[in-house]
């Protein structure tokens, strides 16, 4: 099988599919939404800033993609009712959900645990873990109504091996990996829904700049550069792969074709 990092998707890869992307207003979420639409998907754009979602909506329409839907939502303050209202809206409009990319995230601060602010810790866990978990629960019936649904949760290298000073962000990504494994194991025997995590790697985003302010962004891959793996996971080529932790970039020193 062709390496997913160097995947070359057909133009109609996601034609007829309904895909929800959180954090769709900027960075990787924006690139993913545009890429999914470019390959035929109808997008549900979820994020906290309406103006940014509207800009992505306009970009998708200008490029000739299917008309997206917009659902403003901030994981920091979202309620169970909002997740259920989202599910009801999608059920009414589409009847199913074929893809779910949990991309929204909060970095918090890089500081020794002894000095970590408890209130910020709770905010990071809410945005990165608790919100996505309950949104997924609300959307699960719609995912199971699809013949070929894919759930992709955004992870990180520090969610697979803890590193000093990464605090709540690192812990939240370990939780993301655990949630993926539990849900995938539950669904695999009886459902066609596949659930995986994806580590974007070092990418030119605002979050990366916040974590590494002295780094030259020009040395990093852009969100568009790492889209092959996102498309592979969201499309039919990844059928049969569930409960796995993927990377969108090869290890340092390894070319994409050999990853």
Longest Cα–Cα distance in the chain: 51
- Return the structure tokens found at 152: 């992709």
- Which has the closest alpha carbon to 65: 91, 94, 87, 35? 35
Is 169 a catalytic site residue?
Answer: yes
Question: Which residue spans within 5-134 are E strands per DSSP?
Answer: 18-22, 42-47, 69-72, 99-102
CA contacts within 13 A on the Cβ side of 102: 32
Any idea what the Cα angle at residue 237 is, between residues 232 and 240, rounded to 5°? 110
Q: Considering just the CA atoms, what is the radius of gyration of the chain in Å?
A: 17
Question: In angstroms, rounded to a whole number, what is the distance separating the alpha carbons of residues 220 and 49?
Answer: 26
Please count the residues of the chain.
259
Contact 196, 241 (CB under 8 A): yes
Sheet with strand 245-247: strands edge to edge: 69-72, 42-47, 18-22, 99-102, 150-154, 194-199, 245-247
Whole-number Cα distances in Å, 119 to 84, 126, 168: 26, 11, 11
CA distances for 185 relative to 130, 131, 179, 192, angstroms: 19, 21, 10, 12
Active-site residue, selected from the candidate residues 57, 83, 169, 230? 169
- 119 and 37 in contact (C-beta within 8 Å)? no
- Residues tagged active-site: 169
């Amino acid at each position: 099988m062709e390496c997913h990092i160097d995947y070359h998707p057909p133009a109609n890869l996601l034609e007829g599919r309904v895909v929800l992307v959180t954090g769709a207003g900027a960075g990787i979420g924006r690139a993913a939404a545009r890429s999914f639409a470019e390959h035929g998907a109808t997008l549900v754009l979820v994020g906290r800033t309406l103006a940014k979602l509207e800009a992505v909506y306009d970009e998708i329409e200008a490029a000739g993609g299917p008309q997206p839907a917009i659902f403003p939502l901030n994981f920091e303050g979202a309620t169970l009712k909002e997740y259920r209202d989202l599910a009801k809206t999608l059920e009414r409009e589409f009847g199913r959900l074929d893809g779910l990319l949990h991309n929204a995230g909060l970095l918090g601060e890089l500081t020794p645990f002894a000095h970590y602010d408890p209130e910020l810790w709770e905010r990071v866990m809410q945005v990165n873990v608790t919100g996505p978990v309950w949104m997924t629960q609300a959307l699960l019936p719609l995912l199971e109504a699809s013949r070929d649904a894919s759930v992709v949760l955004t992870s990180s290298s520090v969610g697979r091996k803890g590193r000093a000073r990464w605090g709540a962000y690192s812990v939240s990504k370990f939780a993301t990996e655990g949630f993926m494994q539990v849900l995938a194991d539950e669904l695999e025997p009886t459902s066609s829904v596949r659930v995986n995590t994806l580590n974007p790697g070092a990418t030119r985003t605002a979050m990366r700049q916040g974590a590494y302010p002295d780094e030259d962004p020009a040395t990093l891959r852009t969100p568009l550069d790492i889209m092959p793996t996102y498309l592979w996971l969201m499309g039919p080529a990844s059928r049969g792969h569930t409960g796995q932790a993927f990377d969108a970039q090869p290890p340092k020193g390894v070319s994409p074709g050999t990853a």
